Structure formats: structure tokens, C-alpha cells
Amino acid sequence: MIALLLAADAAGEAAVFPPFDPWHFPSQIFWLVLLFGFLYLVLSRFILPKLGSVLEHRESTIADDLDDAARMNEQAIDAQKAVEISIAEAQAKARETASKARAKIDKEIAEATAKVDGELDVKLSEAEERIAKLREDTMQNVEDIASEAASSMLAKFGASASKADLGKAVKSALSES
């Protein structure tokens, strides 16, 4: 090739780049058609079918995975609904149990209160009876003390009265007050 360029320079002609020389076009076109034909056959018979089957397999795998994901999503939604229902049932049962326990406790409190009230009423009536008896005894003692005091006062003034008269006078004075 260098020799060709040197020969063209020596002849005084402008050297043409060999691939652009029209004399080489027929052989270049022949090899171009032959190589592209061979490349087309290799691609269409071997590479593209394998590539197509890989793409189809990938597409079917993705579609199956999406179907599985949708099915699992539906199952998860159903499971979530079931959990929510069971939680609601458990809450309702807990409320029912709490209300039963509250009613039972209220009943027990009412019974205990009634029992204590009954005991207090009995004790109160006993205490009132004791107070009435003590008051009666005290009033008797007051009458006796008042009679003795009146008798001793009359004795100091030089007068005297019978015990029955003094008792009547003290009783009438106490009944007025």
C-alpha cells in the first residue's frame, strides 16, 4: 500500500484512499453482502430465538410473580379482616365480662351495705335502749338528789317537808322543763 501511494506520488497523480477507490467497490459490496448475510443467518437462527425465549420466559415469570403478589395481597387483606373481626369480638367479650363483673361487684357491695346497715340499725337500737335506760336511771338519781337537796335547804331555813311531798314537787318541776 505504501508502495502504491509512492507510485501515485511519483506519477504526479493525487492518491485516492483505497476504500474510496471505485475500482474496489464491487469486491467491497460482495464482502458486505456476504458478511451481513452470514450475520443475519446467525442472528435469525441462533441468537434471536434464544433471546426471544429468554424474554418470553422473563415476561411469563414476571406475570406469574405479579399474579402471586395479587393473590397474596388478597390473602393478606382477608387475614387482616379476620384479625380485625377477632379483635372486635374479643373487645365485645371483654366489655361483656367487665359489665358482668361490675354487676356482680355492685350486687356484692349492695349486699354488704345492707348487712352493715342492718347491723348498724341493731346496734343503734341497742344504744338507744341503753341511753334511755341510763337516762331513766339518771333521772331517778336526779330526783333523789333534788329531793335531798330540797330537804337540806328547808332544814337550813328551819322548815321541814315529807319525802313524798318533796318527790312530787321535784317531779312536777322536772316535767315542766
Residue 35 in this model has a pLDDT that exceeds 80: yes
Residue corresponding to grid cell 322543763: 177
Euclidean distance between CA atoms 53 and 4, whole angstroms: 52
* Average pLDDT score over residue span 16-20: 83
Q: What is the largest CA-CA distance in the chain?
A: 194
Which of 12-16, 38-42, 131-135, 161-165 is the most confident on average?
38-42
Residue 10 in this model has a pLDDT that exceeds 60: no
For the chain, the domains span 16-176
Residue corresponding to grid cell 475500482: 23
Tens of pLDDT, residues 56-103 = 999 999 999 999 999 999 999 999 999 999 999 999 999 999 999 999
pLDDT at 15: 79
Res. 177 pLDDT band, cuts 50 70 90: low
Res. 158 pLDDT band, cuts 50 70 90: confident
Euclidean distance between CA atoms 170 and 163, whole angstroms: 10
Asked if 174 and 139 touch (Cβ cutoff 8 Å), the reply is yes
pLDDT at 91: 95
pLDDT at 74: 95
Phi-psi sector, 12: left (phi>0), alpha (psi -120 to 50), beta: left
Tens of pLDDT, residues 110-150 = 999 999 999 999 999 999 999 988 888 887 777 778 788 88
Q: Considering only CA atoms, which of 173, 125, 120, 115 is closest in space to residue 145?
A: 173
- Tell me the three state secondary structure of residue 36: helix
Euclidean distance between CA atoms 175 and 139, whole angstroms: 11
